[in-house]
Amino acid sequence: MNKEYINSQPEVENKYNVDLLTDEKVIFTPELDMVGTEKGRLLGISPLVTLTNQRIIIDNTVGVWTIDILQDINSCKKAESGKWIFKRNYLLIDLNNVVEYDGGKQSLTGFSFYFKKTDTTSLQKIEEIMNH
């Protein structure tokens, strides 16, 4: 991942009022339909997602997930599930390490970002930023 490219992205409104770190700026706030684990286990509907030049912050109303873009992400790719009218495109983010949650009862190694079916622009934009 190219840190210079991410830092060159224009700043946008901090729509969800996340606490920013030093030298951090919000570069994208996609409106997701759902967020899940890498295996498709649902983590939340209509989560609040903020992409900064340093992190991805996911608020699923039960908890807040924070992913360091340079340290935690192994890969990021567009994926597809279902067929015909049930076909869904989503972004699969693979993490470097296992993350435990729910008091250690569950774990994940990645996130699935499900965009609204009509919102192909957001999927393309976040994919471009993450894979540049």
Instruction: Report the pLDDT averaged over residues 84-113.
Output: 88
Q: How far apart are CA 114 and CA 35, in angstroms?
A: 6
Quick check: 18 pLDDT over 80?
yes
Quick check: 87 pLDDT over 80?
no
Question: Model confidence over 23-67: pLDDT tens digits?
Answer: 999 999 988 999 999 998 999 999 999 999 999 999 998 889 999
User: For strand 73-81 and strand 64-68, is the pairing parallel, antiparallel, or unpaired?
Assistant: unpaired
Confidence of residue 80 (pLDDT cuts 50, 70, 90): confident
> Taking the model in full, what pTM does it have?
0.86
Q: Where are the domains of the chain?
A: 3-131
Q: How far apart are CA 108 and CA 104, in angstroms?
A: 11
Q: In this structure, which CATH number among 3.40.630.10, 3.40.50.880, 2.30.29.30, 2.170.130.10 belongs to the domain 3-131?
A: 2.30.29.30
Residue 121 in tokens: 């622009």
Residue type (1 letter), 77: K
Residue 50, exposed/middle/buried by CB under 10 A (0-12, 13-18, 19+)?
Answer: buried
